[in-house]
Structure 1
Amino acid sequence: MTTSPPLIISVSGIRGIVGASFTDDTVRRFAHAFATELPMNARILLARDTRPSGENFAAVAIKALAEAGCHVFDLGVCATPAAKLMVLELQAHAALILTASHNPADWNGMKLVRADGIFLDAAAGRRVESAYHRSKRRTGDGRVESVARDDVESRLLRRILDVVDVDAIRAAHLRVAVDPCNGTGALFLPRLFEALAVSAHFIHDTPDGQFAHEPEPIAENLVDLSRAVTEAGCQVGFATDPDADRVALVGETGQPLGEDLTLALAVQVVTERRKGPVVTTLSTSQVVTDAATANGCPVILTPVGEVHVVDAMVAEGAVIGGEGNGGVILTDVDPGRDAAVGIALILESLARNGRPLTELAAALPQYSIEKRKVSCSEQDLQRALDGLVQRYPEALRHPVQDGVKLYMEGTFQCPWIHLRPSNTEPVVRIIAECEQRQDAVELCAVAEGLLRGE
């Protein structure tokens, strides 16, 4: 008999299977717990992605927050980046966003946001989790008001247009294919493309949460988009996840590009005109570091998790940051990953260079990155972490703590392997990068064997 995955609670939020580990009671108790961390009459935003279960969960959350004495601003169906921006725009104390991001359709979850528009850090998350387990709550006289989608989208659009070369993009007369996977990207992206005079061919753009394919924007889920790019004669294809904070690319030939190339190309275009630190995670490809250092910009690596990246960006005054999963961050726009920002920067790169996307990608250093995920116990993971270090005594271990990342040749360069527990799924992630694919495959096989006790 199979068992449902447990509720996952991490710096990436709360996620579970609808009706099993994620229920009305989960939402109600977390909403009350979150409210106890806020002042009475706190201004809190509520948003959700397009998953059908979100409407009911939103009603549960709104009721709980109002009962706890909060002033709730209901954004309705809204992309995560836009909701985070509205925390700043409305000078709110917090936001609760109902989404399971890239997880399959039978999942839902919550992302909790603090007053600076950034996700809760680990310490704040632990306090809320403790309050949840104790069913902590308070009562007060709250109220609810709705925020118009046009207002939200107009604010986000203005910020994006302020940071890209609008004239160059408009003059390029670009044609793109877009797959928002029936998520929130279907709501805002048409407006972005119209403002940039980009001709857009959409597929799977009914924002009803009935995902046309598995929603994570990785190569195996981009078959329809690849076909749309070639059939419509587009220069690029964009695939976003359901809450529109990640974007993957398909080249003009219909070939999906690696997830990390979204950030690498975005870093390249930003650091060509603006110098400063670049922040990304331990699991991100070396090609992102190469793109930054080629333009004289230092790179800072953090544990995996958007909050770690954004906190470091703010502390270091970074010009751009992000994660290797297609998450691009420009804090001048909003304090987190934003698919629309990534799209705008890729459009600028195409417009300014006047070259096909596949040529731009081919001009970057070439690596092969292998990614796997394995279910195992905490004991198996610890044994594998220890075993990996013992197996490669000459390797250089990165000092940032998030599982173990080893650089096999003793310098902070490729080849490397990273073994860590996932923040979003009940699995352990194995990521290896080498110049040759077979070498990366072999490194991953060693780590997987250690996890399985082989």
Structure 2
Amino acid sequence: MTGPAPLIVSVSGIRGIVGQSLTHDTVRRFAHAFAAELPMNARIVLARDTRPSGEEFAVAAAEALCAAGCHVFDLGVCATPAAKLMVLELKAQAALILTASHNPEQWNGLKLVRGDGIFLDAATGRRVEAAYHRSQRRTGDGQVETVPRDDVETRLLQRILDVVDADVIRNAGLRAAVDPCNGTGGLFVPRLLQALGVDMHLIHGEPHGRFAHEPEPVPENLIDLGRAVVDGDCHVGFAVDPDADRVALVGETGLPMGEDLTLALAVQAVTESRQGPVVTTLSTSQVVSDAALRNGCPVTLTPVGEVHVVDAMVTEGAVIGGEGNGGVILLDVDPGRDAAVGIALILQALARGGQPLSALAGKLPQYVIEKRKVSCSKQDLQRALDGLVVRYPEALQHPVQDGVKLYMDGVLRCPWIHLRPSNTEPVVRIIAESGHGEEAVELCDVAEGFLRGE
């Protein structure tokens, strides 16, 4: 029998199962540890997703932050991208967001954001973690100020409308089905679609946090959305994760699109009219790089993790970036993945292209990507990394270190395999991509065999 899932600590925060690894005391201690990293009287944004546990955890976090001398701006239930934007708008020094993103309902967590609206860098994250383990705290006399959700949403909406061709979208007569899985997307996405003149068919829109299905926006969880697209004769379906930083697509036939196509189509929509660098991660499909390169835009690959992508985007002045899990980033809107930004760009692509979503996707190169996750020890992971390098001596190893990524033909293209420890779950992720499904499966089989000692 396995024990309870441990508290997962990463550079950007923590996640755990409510009442087991994540308790009110855990939240208070981590809030105190985070406050210790900030100046006295720091202004800090506090927000949460719709999970039932979030309300009490938010009270615990606010108490700790005030006791540490922070001025807390309480946004209440709020999408992660909007909370990060409000760090900039309110000239705050940080944000603490209570969410477990795509994890199941029994999970919750804390995401920690620095003063530029970007998740913590590794060094700061390690200092906060060390302070948490020391139960470090300071004393002060802070207060809580409530910020109306309408104010938050209005600011985000205007930023999105400023960067897309809203008039073209409004005149296209589009219909979209939306499944926010009872998360924060059910609050903002309808307002966005109304502003863009899109007829919406909303399912699972009640923001009560009791998820109608598993919340990660992957194909097996998009069945209800597919039916809604067909029943509503919609042009597209959008599946949004609980804190609204990822979006997956369902085509006009009701079938899920590959999750990397969200970013690929968004990249194509932006780079058709705006040239500049594009940034994504080592685990993202080749189709995203292809979409950028065909429009003459260079591509930079980073380790997996939003903070790595955003930091590289800032350094290089990137026009767009993101992760292959449906996370689209436009720094002109907010400094991180934003489902609403992805939705607006896909609607723009449909409106300008005048073709079904499947036709737009069909113009991009077709690849097959295989993804797995395996529970294993650090020793098992190292054995697998070493074994892959020995097994494929002719493969080209990518110079960016995040586990190991090998290009099997010795050039920076498919087929490839990427093996790395997850930042958010106690597992190792295996990702392989090829022009042929059999090859991607075979590569994953080999890597999984090394992990299991076979």
Is TM-score (shorter-chain normalized) higher than 0.5? yes
1:121-200 equivalences under 5 Å are 121-200=121-200
TM-score, normalised to structure 2's length?
A: 1.00
Shift of the alpha carbon at 1:107? Answer: 0.6
Q: Deviations over 1:58-102 (max 9, x none)?
A: 000000000000000000000000000000000000000000000
User: Is the 2:12–2:113 Cα contact (8 Å) retained in structure 1?
Assistant: no
Shift of the alpha carbon at 1:13? Answer: 2.4
Partner of 2:257: 257
User: Is the 1:7–1:21 Cα contact (8 Å) retained in structure 2?
Assistant: yes
User: Is the 2:417–2:431 Cα contact (8 Å) retained in structure 1?
Assistant: yes
1:68-147 equivalences under 5 Å are 68-147=68-147
1:290-369 equivalences under 5 Å are 290-369=290-369
User: Is the 1:415–1:432 Cα contact (8 Å) retained in structure 2?
Assistant: yes
Partner of 2:287: 287
Matched to 1:149, the amino acid is R
Q: Distance in 1 between matches of 2:107 and 2:114?
A: 24
1:413-432 equivalences under 5 Å are 413-432=413-432
Matched to 1:279, the amino acid is V
Q: Distance in 1 between matches of 2:384 and 2:25?
A: 36
| SS across alignment from 2:220 | helix
Q: Distance in 1 between matches of 2:381 and 2:106?
A: 27
Q: Deviations over 1:232-273 (max 9, x none)?
A: 100000000000000000000011001100000000000001
| SS across alignment from 1:40 | coil
Partner of 1:204: 204
Q: Distance in 2 between matches of 1:385 and 1:370?
A: 18
Q: Distance in 2 between matches of 1:11 and 1:418?
A: 21
Task: Give RMSD over aligned pairs.
Answer: 0.5
- Unaligned 5+ residue runs, structure 2? none
Shift of the alpha carbon at 1:301? Answer: 0.2
Q: Deviations over 1:300-334 (max 9, x none)?
A: 00000000000000000000000000000000000
User: Is the 2:12–2:125 Cα contact (8 Å) retained in structure 1?
Assistant: no
User: Is the 1:11–1:305 Cα contact (8 Å) retained in structure 2?
Assistant: no
TM-score, normalised to structure 1's length?
A: 1.00
Shift of the alpha carbon at 1:11? Answer: 3.0
User: Is the 1:46–1:73 Cα contact (8 Å) retained in structure 2?
Assistant: yes
- Unaligned 5+ residue runs, structure 1? none
Q: Distance in 1 between matches of 2:126 and 2:49?
A: 25
Partner of 1:220: 220
Partner of 2:45: 45
Q: Distance in 2 between matches of 1:350 and 1:153?
A: 24
Shift of the alpha carbon at 1:371? Answer: 0.4
Matched to 2:215, the amino acid is P
Partner of 1:384: 384
Shift of the alpha carbon at 1:208? Answer: 0.4
Partner of 1:438: 438
| SS across alignment from 1:172 | coil
User: Is the 1:100–1:108 Cα contact (8 Å) retained in structure 2?
Assistant: yes
User: Is the 2:11–2:126 Cα contact (8 Å) retained in structure 1?
Assistant: no
1:236-255 equivalences under 5 Å are 236-255=236-255
Q: Distance in 1 between matches of 2:12 and 2:134?
A: 21
| SS across alignment from 2:104 | coil
Aligned residues: percent identity?
80
